[in-house]
Amino acid sequence: MQKTTKQENIDKLVVHLSKHPDGISTRAMSKQLSCDIKTIQNYISDLKTGYVEDIELVSLKRGYYSVIDKRKALKEAAIEMEKRVYLKLAIETLDELSNLSKHNDELEEELNLEKLSSPYYIKSESYEKLNTDEEEIENLETAIAKDMVISFTFKAKRFHVEPYRLVNFDGIWYLYGKDKEEKENNPYKTWMLKYIDNVEIDLSTKHNMPDDEIDEDLDKAHSAQFVPDKYFDVKLKVSAKVADLFRQKNHLPNQNSTIQDDGSLLVISTISTYADIDPEVKSWLPHIQILEPKEYRDSFKEELMGYIKDYGDI
**Residue 254 and residue 216 share a domain:** no
Whether 123 is covered by a domain: the verdict is no
Domain that includes residue 289, residue range: 232-312
Structure-model confidence comparison of residues 304 and 64, the more confident one: 304
Mean predicted confidence (pLDDT) in 218-228? 85
Judge if pTM exceeds 0.75. no
pLDDT reported for residue 118? 47
CA 304 to chain CA mean position, Å: 28
290 contacts 236 by C-beta, under 8 angstroms:
yes
Using the predicted structure, report yes or no on whether residue 196 has a pLDDT greater than 90: yes
Return all residues near 94 (Cβ < 8 A) that are at least 6 apart.
100
Structural domain includes residue 104: no
> What residues pair up with 233 in beta bridges, in sequence order?
270
Last-in-domain residue among 220, 246, 269? 220
State the total domains in the chain: 3
> Same domain for 150 and 194?
yes
**Residue 257 pairs with which residues in a beta bridge?**
267
Residue 91 lies in a domain: no
Residue 268 has pLDDT above 70, yes or no: yes
Q: Which of 18, 41, 69 marks a domain boundary?
A: 69
DSSP string, 238-260: E-HHHHHHHTTS--STT-EEEE-
C-alpha distance from residue 144 to each of 38, 121, 175, 208 (Å): 11, 39, 10, 12
Share of the chain above pLDDT 70, in %: 76
Which value, to the nearest 10 degrees, does the dihedral of the CA atoms of residues 259, 262, 264, 266 take? -50
Is the domain of 216 the same as that of 236? no
User: Domain holding 48: CATH number?
Assistant: 1.10.10.10
* Phi (first) and psi of residue 296, to 5 degrees: -70, -40
Residue 116 included in any domain: no
**Domain identity same for 17 and 37:** yes
Domain end residue (candidates: 163, 191, 220): 220
Comparison of pLDDT for 241 and 72, the residue scoring more: 241
142 and 209 belong to one structural domain: yes
